[in-house]
Structure 1
Amino acid sequence: PWYNAAAMVETSNIPASRVLVIGLDGATWAIAQPLMAAGRMPNLARLVAQGAAGSLASTVPPISAAAWVSFLTGQNPGRHGVYQFRKFDLCNYSGYRDEFATSNDYVGRSFLELAGQHGRTVGSVGIPMTYPPFPVNGFLVSGFPRPFGPTAQVYPPEMAARLGKWDAVQDSFNFSLSGAKTVETSDYWVRRYTEISIDALAEQDYDLFLVVWNSTDNIPHLFWKYTDPSFPAYDADGAQQFGDVINHQYEVADGEIGKLLAALPDPENTTVVVMSDHGMGPYPHLQVHLNAWLAEQGLLAVKAGSAGQPSIASRMVSKARKRLPAQWRHRLRDRLPAGMRADMHARHMNLDQIDWSRTEAYRFKIFPSVEGVVVNLRGRQTEGIIEPGADYDALCDRLVAALADLRDPDSGQPIVARASRRETLFEGPFLDDIPDILVELNPDYTGGSAVAGPLVTPVPLSDLSEYSASHHPDGLFVVRGAGVREGAWIDGAQIIDLPPTLMHLMGLPVASWMDGKVITSIFEPSALHEVTYADYELADVDRSTRLTGEEEDAIRAQLAGLGYLQE
């Protein structure tokens, strides 16, 4: 077998259920509930009425890379090591390596593989972060981000021939498509994934089947500006054509849910789960410049003679970003050598203006809703000046306290929802990879790169027009099945809780190394069973395996198209 037979563990005595998981990437109750009330999502409404539902807390940051790997492993990012699509590098002042996180970083630790160790059959279609495809006791079709190509990226490889021509329609993550074409191709991939799933379910009664549709994530990123008249970059003309396109994607997804439910071979013995990895909302319209604030606090030094103003080269990069259409900008950047891309990123972030030899802490760009602050630590960065130990701890505590009280000088409203030292949010062997301080911003704010000047400035309308929605920390989940409470609303669930809950539903012992817990509040009292645990023996992950240059270029293009690589 593909797995280590010595790792087999006894199945628990919990009554087993088959499980169907439907992932709606980025879906939020804020959109789904009004549509359900209006009768536009009848299948989801029926599942909610017949089962237990609630909000699902995502990871920090609430980005698909970290969230989906946490969903697959039941672990916090400090334990599985995936925080972003690109890998962090705190030794480098730019903050990132030119290397992408992939399934190679966690393979052997997913609950899909654990279920296979018990002989349970698994089908998986389109889960993000599953490229390259890895062995399961069944089949796996890789999800976003993945390279384009004429054949599907699948396990087992011979299944690709059965799926036929793969990229006959260009992937909807292609930023160069027109608005109408983006919607068309997004619809195509939702229906394509459903077709693959229905065909597979017709051939075999899988114990665990999962499918994820990305349309509820990628369409809002690009089309929110057409749907919300209060949004600063609202496009009234475009709204005539695209004003209902986000609702349409939810409706399409609901229709596909209905098709999958009708295709279940054993519906009475199948627990149905609908979930999302995070929520979605309008892109923040204000940017807070933490480097400028750190300079005011005397913790960041600007190079002599620059007065904090961008260099000529930096201003040229900024002008190019604003004047070149997105597709041309991304194409140009993708053709540059890695070193030149890194230099452009540094200039865009104004890192070339910082005197590192006199800087104690600096801003680390993570995600629109989450900023990082990194201590310039002796022995870690090349020009680190803060001593490890007591000096480091004192500076971190000082920063957390000051950031938590940060307010907008114009409105007086709090800028920061929560400031935390990394060890209060994460634990595990990869803790040292993440910035020292995590700054979760309130919804109106995102990070800015200025090293001098006002603390808060408006986000340029050109930026808001390009990417008009961003992730929110709360996703959604629904569970319907035998023994599950009907019409119950569940509070406090996290995405890392789903793998142990799903294993428990399947009558399997939960991996003792998972951080998540079984969501026992979804069950009727009569259906509660003791949760059993097992120490699954897993092979070490070879994190040194890299994608080819061609694969990385293809993935970089997809991520840039959704605004994940705004350099």
Structure 2
Amino acid sequence: MRRGQKVLIIGLDGSSWKILNHMMEEDKMPCLKGLVASGTSGILKSSIPPLTAAAWTSFQTGVNPGKHGIIHFQSFDPVTKQIRLVNSNDIKMKTIWELVSEQKKKVISINVPLTYPPRPLNGIVVGGMLSPRVDERFVYPSEVYHEYIKDRGYKIVAGRLERQAAITLQDFVKEQIEVERKRFDLAKKLMKECEWDLFMVHNQLMDPLQHALFPYLDPQSKEYDERKFEEISKFYEECDKFISDLIEVGGPEATVILLSDHGSKGVSCYVNLNTWLRRMGYLRLTSRRYLGELITLIRRLDAHHLLKKILGKLIKSPTLVMRISGRASQSLIDWKKTKVYSINGIIWGNMHFADPQVANQIVEKLKDWKGPVDNKSIVRRIYRKEEIFSGPYLEQLPDIFLEPHNGYAFYTPLIKDMKMFHMVDVARYERVGTHDLEGILVIKGKNIKDNLRIQANIVDLAPTVLSILDISLPSHMDGRVLEEIFIKKPKIRIGETESLERDEPEKYLEDDEKEIERRLKDLGYL
């Protein structure tokens, strides 16, 4: 193995201290408990919005979405009104993988979001959740696929969450465990057999599991069930073992970083922003709205989710309703008559102002908007993009972002559901967990202080990792080096920002695009 500083990063998608603290108290995660006790840990503030695509891109680049251009898995052009899936070529700044590789250091990245298509670098890239299939296209170099992945049962995700309704909780949890086991087995094998200076593996399935089962993980939830908690906690116990084994293989010289892209919490009510805008007169639909109303009727008739329970056992493709709804929503908007609209405003809301003159009026109405959960305000805070972002891609971003109060999450379908409020019913296998702004951060190493508690921002990780590896920081980075965590502070060197020419974003093949859209719909992102 190579000598010198090494950094091992383990991503725990959607992890929250609310859940992990309970796991440690119940002695379910002894490895994590030891890292927290003997290292630095604390809250890691996510990006705004706290969505997977935005947050992991900010992590990789150390900059805000105004500079890297990504807030969602789909890109929306407010001029042409076109929507398409994003990929690694949409990231407008160099990532830490590229910056470290340029310094002749070895990089291995496994399953990190927004790394497909894998970009050539000094090391290995195994693509993340936007990789359409497990084949040689999602690995660089392709030889790694044939030697380490092909015919070994590696999966990107465990399968549709919709199938949760059709199988037992025990089997559902086992499926998640086995996918992550294969992922960490691959990580250990590459770590043992290949040179590396910067290594990252991403545990993707912690997030969808929490979307599906959060109330059973939170002892403060009224739906908390000790028996179900014990069953679900097996996933966290196994992941803790995977982490422990990987750290052991990495060796005592490696600085270990565990982080999440955002936190998680429960949700009681989904709020349809576009329905609200429609009723307020700011958004107009074309005559094709009747198609949306027909599909809404079909969904309501399936009150007991019988289709889901039956089809979940038989098929792995999305239902016709979901397939139609995802592709038709955008086409229902009458753009000439619409003043305000939301595209991809899920979990945290967003709005584009086609008519900027209504901006202040909208903001005031949002402040007074009450919902069915305890009759409290729906919107906790409103962020104007120019107040929180900077950079050349500011204009293409939504004009405002809406942080919901606890208990609420936003969504924006025009066709899937015309109701403004949708109360969550745990018994109907709905998405009962949502995202929180506060994620987790744990850092352990020979030069890291023991038992220190900090707060950091997700953009701080890239400059901190570069400083550990003694690499100069590009001057464009928004994040800071977390100097307070070090026993002996590293030398911080600021380098020049180089211009970056990306290839035109690769267009997905039609079948590949459908596969990724299916996956994102299942997780509630589309």
TM-score (norm 1): 0.80
Structure 2 CA distance for aligned equivalents of residues 363 and 153 of structure 1:
32
Task: Name the SS for the 2:233 alignment partner.
Answer: helix
1:532-547 equivalences under 5 Å are 532-547=493-508
**Residue from 340, 353, 356 that aligns with 1:361:** 340
Task: Name the SS for the 1:331 alignment partner.
Answer: coil
CA contact (8 A) 2:59 2:459 kept: yes
Q: Which moved more, 1:553-562 or 1:132-141?
A: 553-562
1:490 — aligned with what? 454
Structure 2 CA distance for aligned equivalents of residues 72 and 362 of structure 1:
30
Aligned CA RMSD, in angstroms, stands at 3.5
Deviations 1:24-54 (A, max 9, x none): 1111111111222332211111111221111
Deviation at 1:303, TM superposition (A): 8.3
2:94 — aligned with what? 109
Deviation at 1:128, TM superposition (A): 1.9
Deviations 1:424-460 (A, max 9, x none): 2222222222221211111211236699xx9974425
Give the unaligned 5+ runs of structure 1.
Answer: 1-14, 377-385, 387-391
Residue identity matched to 1:285: S
1:244 — aligned with what? 230
Deviation at 1:89, TM superposition (A): 3.0
Flag the 1:164–1:414 CA change in 2: closer, same or farther, 3 A.
Answer: closer
**Residue from 272, 276, 279 that aligns with 2:260:** 276
Flag the 1:148–1:548 CA change in 2: closer, same or farther, 3 A.
Answer: same
2:478 — aligned with what? 515
**Residue from 494, 511, 524 that aligns with 1:550:** 511
Structure 2 CA distance for aligned equivalents of residues 287 and 228 of structure 1:
19
Flag the 1:449–1:554 CA change in 2: closer, same or farther, 3 A.
Answer: closer
**Residue from 457, 466, 479 that aligns with 1:503:** 466
2:62 — aligned with what? 74
1:381 — aligned with what? none
Structure 1 CA distance for aligned equivalents of residues 93 and 409 of structure 2:
36
Deviation at 1:343, TM superposition (A): 5.7
1:29 — aligned with what? 17
Deviation at 1:508, TM superposition (A): 0.9
Q: Percent identity?
A: 28
Residue identity matched to 1:315: L
**Residue from 355, 373, 383 that aligns with 2:351:** 373
Flag the 1:164–1:476 CA change in 2: closer, same or farther, 3 A.
Answer: closer
1:83 — aligned with what? 71
2:329 — aligned with what? 345
Deviation at 1:197, TM superposition (A): 2.1
Residue identity matched to 1:244: E
CA contact (8 A) 1:61 1:367 kept: no
Query: Is the radius of gyration larger for structure 1 or structure 2?
Result: 1
Deviation at 1:260, TM superposition (A): 1.3
CA contact (8 A) 1:149 1:167 kept: no
1:462-477 equivalences under 5 Å are 465-477=429-441
Deviation at 1:408, TM superposition (A): 3.7
**Residue from 255, 268, 282 that aligns with 1:285:** 268
Deviations 1:301-354 (A, max 9, x none): 6889x9x99744653466579663275695344996xxx6566435xxxx85x7
Deviations 1:483-521 (A, max 9, x none): 322111102x11111000100111111111222111222
CA contact (8 A) 2:345 2:412 kept: no
Structure 2 CA distance for aligned equivalents of residues 229 and 203 of structure 1:
42
Residue identity matched to 1:37: E
2:212 — aligned with what? 222
1:141-540 equivalences under 5 Å are 141-149=126-134, 153-166=138-151, 168=153, 171-175=156-160, 177=163, 178=167, 179-224=169-214, 226-227=216-217, 234=223, 240=227, 242-265=228-251, 267=252, 269-282=253-266, 284-291=267-274, 293-294=276-277, 299-300=282-283, 311-312=293-294, 314-316=296-298, 319=301, 324-325=307-308, 327=312, 330-333=317-320, 344-346=328-330, 352=332, 357-368=336-347, 370-376=348-354, 386=355, 392=356, 394-408=357-371, 411-447=374-410, 457-461=421-425, 465-491=429-455, 493-524=456-487, 527-540=488-501
Residue identity matched to 1:253: C
Q: Which moved more, 1:153-162 or 1:397-406?
A: 397-406
Residue identity matched to 1:36: M
Structure 1 CA distance for aligned equivalents of residues 106 and 6 of structure 2:
10
Structure 2 CA distance for aligned equivalents of residues 373 and 278 of structure 1:
21
Structure 1 CA distance for aligned equivalents of residues 275 and 12 of structure 2:
38
Task: Name the SS for the 1:483 alignment partner.
Answer: coil
Flag the 1:252–1:298 CA change in 2: closer, same or farther, 3 A.
Answer: same
Deviation at 1:227, TM superposition (A): 4.6
Deviation at 1:547, TM superposition (A): 1.7
Residue identity matched to 1:545: E
Residue identity matched to 2:404: L
Deviation at 1:92, TM superposition (A): 6.3
Deviation at 1:540, TM superposition (A): 0.7
1:4 — aligned with what? none
Deviation at 1:406, TM superposition (A): 3.4
CA contact (8 A) 1:285 1:464 kept: no
Structure 1 CA distance for aligned equivalents of residues 215 and 128 of structure 2:
27
Deviation at 1:402, TM superposition (A): 3.8
Structure 2 CA distance for aligned equivalents of residues 182 and 360 of structure 1:
44
Task: Name the SS for the 1:508 alignment partner.
Answer: coil
Residue identity matched to 2:475: S
CA contact (8 A) 2:345 2:351 kept: no
Flag the 1:158–1:245 CA change in 2: closer, same or farther, 3 A.
Answer: same
Deviation at 1:551, TM superposition (A): 1.9
Q: Which moved more, 1:503-512 or 1:31-40?
A: 31-40
Structure 1 CA distance for aligned equivalents of residues 108 and 4 of structure 2:
17
Task: Name the SS for the 1:19 alignment partner.
Answer: strand
Flag the 1:477–1:296 CA change in 2: closer, same or farther, 3 A.
Answer: same
Deviation at 1:463, TM superposition (A): 9.4
Structure 1 CA distance for aligned equivalents of residues 6 and 469 of structure 2:
6
Residue identity matched to 2:382: A
Deviations 1:341-375 (A, max 9, x none): 566435xxxx85x765554323444212x111222
1:5 — aligned with what? none
Structure 2 CA distance for aligned equivalents of residues 396 and 72 of structure 1:
33
Deviations 1:39-89 (A, max 9, x none): 221111111122111111111221211111111111212211121111223
CA contact (8 A) 2:19 2:217 kept: no
Structure 1 CA distance for aligned equivalents of residues 446 and 278 of structure 2:
58
Flag the 1:185–1:528 CA change in 2: closer, same or farther, 3 A.
Answer: same
Task: Name the SS for the 2:108 alignment partner.
Answer: strand
Task: Name the SS for the 1:120 alignment partner.
Answer: coil
Task: Name the SS for the 1:126 alignment partner.
Answer: strand
Residue identity matched to 1:331: P
Structure 1 CA distance for aligned equivalents of residues 85 and 427 of structure 2:
24
Flag the 1:101–1:16 CA change in 2: closer, same or farther, 3 A.
Answer: same
Structure 2 CA distance for aligned equivalents of residues 46 and 277 of structure 1:
22
Structure 2 CA distance for aligned equivalents of residues 203 and 501 of structure 1:
27
Residue identity matched to 1:535: E
Structure 1 CA distance for aligned equivalents of residues 158 and 421 of structure 2:
30
Task: Name the SS for the 1:467 alignment partner.
Answer: coil
How many residues in Structure 1 have an aligned counterpart in Structure 2? 512
Task: Name the SS for the 1:87 alignment partner.
Answer: strand
1:3 — aligned with what? none
